[in-house]
Chain A
Amino acid sequence: MLETLINIFHLIFSESFILTVVTASTPLLLASSGELMVERSGVLNLGVEGMMIVGAACGFAGAWLSGSILVGALSGIIAGAALSGMFGILTLGLAVNQVATGLALTIFGVGLSGLIGAKFVGEKIAPAAHLHLPMLTDLPGVGRILFGEDPFVYVSVALIIGIWLFLYRSRPGLVLRAVGDNHASAHALGYPVLRIRMLAVLFGGACAGLAGAYLPLAYTPFFIPGMTSGRGWIALALVVFASWRPGRLVIGAYLFGAVSILGLALQPLQLGIPQQVMNMLPYLATVVVLVLISRARGTAGSAAPASLGLVFVPDR
């Protein structure tokens, strides 16, 4: 028993485990960062999973056809933004229910990704190269973790810092939060509520597309249908977990990244727990965390946007 615990402890603090946690967390952080902006503007886009999986298919297609990871990433971003544009036209332009449209986007995206990706199943690409700085990357212990990641990891960190600066330290960010908290007042003050929300939705789609593209470009160097396996939904839960605050989002993304690979990492220890049960961990953890967070709401300083998910039709 004690020996097993020591083994688990060693494993969790090993360099290789932490490196895998970073790779598992990055798509979650990218997707949930985008959704955080969308929800802060008052829109609930449940289509993250659909945008991610299409981003994965287009990202792989772009990289495979061009031989460039950058082109792949851009393809994923454009695909995600295009899908979110459809969502925006329906929910903002035609005032359709956001929950139903988000579900439609996911159903559509899962089908579309299968269609796009069918030609590429079984193909392989060279995954994104990791950073290598002479001296720094070779530092013992922290070198590879801090200075030897793939470029997406640094992008994801820069993105969430940028979002924090935008939301809390800039005037447009203040307007975006105002639109999310009370669209009627923002409209009365003369802010173009629907246009601001559309931009936020497109940004969220681009982030989800990039998060999806990360999977075949850096996580595994190939495309499998359904490879996002619920990460888009976990990203949505993360925004709730973070109480709509960027700082907590980073903590949440890394916690969930760790939980999601724990099952795989513990496999060699032969704990006698069925693999399927270990694979349930990230989903069960999401349910438990949602329950705990929702229960603590109010005391935990939640920044839930007051107009979240509500339809807004400007009167003239």
Chain B
Amino acid sequence: MQLVLERRAERSTVVAIASPLIAIALTLVTIGILFAIIGKSPIEALRVYFVEPLTDPYPFFLQQEIAVKATPLVMIAVGLSLCYIANIWNIGAEGQFLVGAVCGSWLAVKTNGTDVGHWVLPVMLILGALGGAIYGLIPALCRVYFGASEILTSLMLVYVANLGLDYMVRGPWRDPHGLNFPTTAAFDPAASIGTLFEGPGRLHAGSIIALVVVMLGAVMLGRTLMGFQIRLVGAAPRAARFSGFDTNKLVLFTFAVSGALAGLAGIVEVAGPIGHLDPGVASGYGFTAIIVAFLGRLNPIGILFAGLFLALTFIGGEGAQIALKVPLDLTKVFQGILLFYVLACDSLIAYRVRLLRTARKVAPANA
């Protein structure tokens, strides 16, 4: 007996819609088994992970936390999906996120305590997006002009950005009243994104920006020539070349857009929930967003739901750490397993798995 793959005549629409759901179901089963192995009740564990954050009573603190976590994930993942659809591999979103955070924070640090007006925050957001875009363009330019693999260069720049952030908050921007901690002073109200509701919840206006990004992303991909080019280059690179589309331009465009969105996510995160710049800003959103992009099937609307789901695993994981005494790294393992299942299920859209009962036989000559 032997398992073989068989290409489907047409991509299966049913599987295309069901595949992320199947992947999530398989992940939940795997998590349950893992918890049973370490001697915890799987039902209780799944309840803590996935039900408790959603049923938190008024003032809905945990639900707001999910939206807060999902905000940067969704913003970054929408940008990444543009790249991945076109088979362009920006895996350095974490670095673009950090550079965006640093560039935007520059203005907040310079205007700290001066009360110069309300233009500060919008300019910070623009600076963040611009910084992320320029940082994202470095690997794109290296690929277009020198043919260097954008996978490796974009990833290397993550480490560079991390060290750069570390230098800024330990050196020039360190808060003189900060008890020697590596952090800038807390941002002024004019340089901060306020919360949307009264009370302890941290839901902020950045989440609205994320929703706008999702809508613009969906329109761009579905309704514009650029979106069409991106999809065409991904699905049929040869056809795209014959029709005269410039792949290099596409590399620059997708990297600039995904870099800008990652940078915007970075400054939104700093000006919103965090409120100052410190090395803890580097929390791996840029990498988790890769999972979000694939779980959302590289579709902006799908990414919105995928981002909320991944955020749920973060919040649930924090709850599980307290309630079940399991390490926080367990969440990352689940997210990795989820991505494996998503990719495996995606394969079933284009292929069918067949079980061959007998060993392969030589075909008769007249067949």
Interface residues of A (CB under 8 A from B): 46, 86, 90, 93-97, 99-101, 103-105, 107-112, 114-115, 118, 225, 229-230, 233-234, 236-237, 240, 274, 276-277, 279-280, 283-284, 286-287, 290-295, 297, 313-314, 316
By a CB distance below 8 angstroms, the chain A residues around B239 are none
Offer 22 A-B interface pairs, CB within 8 angstroms, sorted by A: A90-B343, A93-B5, A94-B344, A94-B347, A94-B351, A101-B340, A101-B343, A104-B336, A104-B339, A107-B291, A107-B332, A108-B333, A108-B336, A111-B334, A233-B155, A276-B163, A277-B167, A283-B156, A284-B156, A287-B142, A287-B148, A295-B146
Per-position binary interface string of chain B over residues 64-75, scored 1 when its CB falls under 8 Å from any chain A CB and 0 otherwise: 000000000000
Q: Out of B138, B163, B331, B360, name the residue touching A277 (CB < 8 Å).
A: B163
Q: How far is the CB of B297 from chain A (nearest CB, A)?
A: 12
By a CB distance below 8 angstroms, the chain A residues around B331 are 111
With A90-B340, A107-B339, A108-B339 known to touch, is A280 a contact of B163 (CB < 8 Å)? yes
Q: Which residue of A lies closest to B172 (CB)?
A: A274
With A111-B331, A115-B333, A274-B167 known to touch, is A103 a contact of B91 (CB < 8 Å)? yes
Bound Cα distance A290, B150 (Å): 10
By a CB distance below 8 angstroms, the chain A residues around B153 are 286-287, 290-291
With A107-B339, A114-B329, A118-B327 known to touch, is A291 a contact of B146 (CB < 8 Å)? yes
Q: Which residue of A lies closest to B171 (CB)?
A: A274
B337 at interface by CB-CB < 8 Å: yes
Tell whether, in the assembled complex, residue B147 and residue A93 are in contact, meaning their CB atoms are under 8 Å apart: no
Q: Out of A99, A104, A110, name the residue touching B340 (CB < 8 Å).
A: A104
Tell whether, in the assembled complex, residue A111 and residue B151 are in contact, meaning their CB atoms are under 8 Å apart: no
With A94-B5, A114-B327, A316-B4 known to touch, is A276 a contact of B336 (CB < 8 Å)? no
Q: How far is the CB of B137 from chain A (nearest CB, A)?
A: 13
User: Which residue, B142, B155, B344, has most C-beta atoms of chain A within 10 A?
Assistant: B155
If A112-B333, A234-B156, A291-B148 are given as contacts, then 18 extra A-B residue pairs at C-beta distance below 8 Å, sorted by A number, are A95-B347, A95-B350, A100-B339, A101-B343, A103-B290, A103-B339, A104-B339, A109-B336, A111-B329, A236-B152, A240-B149, A274-B167, A274-B171, A276-B167, A287-B142, A290-B152, A313-B7, A316-B360
Tell whether, in the assembled complex, residue A279 and residue B163 are in contact, meaning their CB atoms are under 8 Å apart: yes
Number of A-B contacts (CB under 8 A): 145
By a CB distance below 8 angstroms, the chain A residues around B89 are 99
Q: How far is the CB of B219 from chain A (nearest CB, A)?
A: 26
Tell whether, in the assembled complex, residue B332 and residue A111 are in contact, meaning their CB atoms are under 8 Å apart: yes
By a CB distance below 8 angstroms, the chain B residues around A109 are 336
Bound Cα distance A101, B291 (Å): 11
Per the 8 Å Cβ criterion, residues 1-49 of B in contact with A are 3-5, 7
By a CB distance below 8 angstroms, the chain A residues around B156 are 230, 233-234, 237, 283-284, 286-287
Per the 8 Å Cβ criterion, residues 243-262 of B in contact with A are none
Per the 8 Å Cβ criterion, residues 143-184 of B in contact with A are 146-149, 151-153, 155-157, 159-160, 163-164, 166-167, 170-171
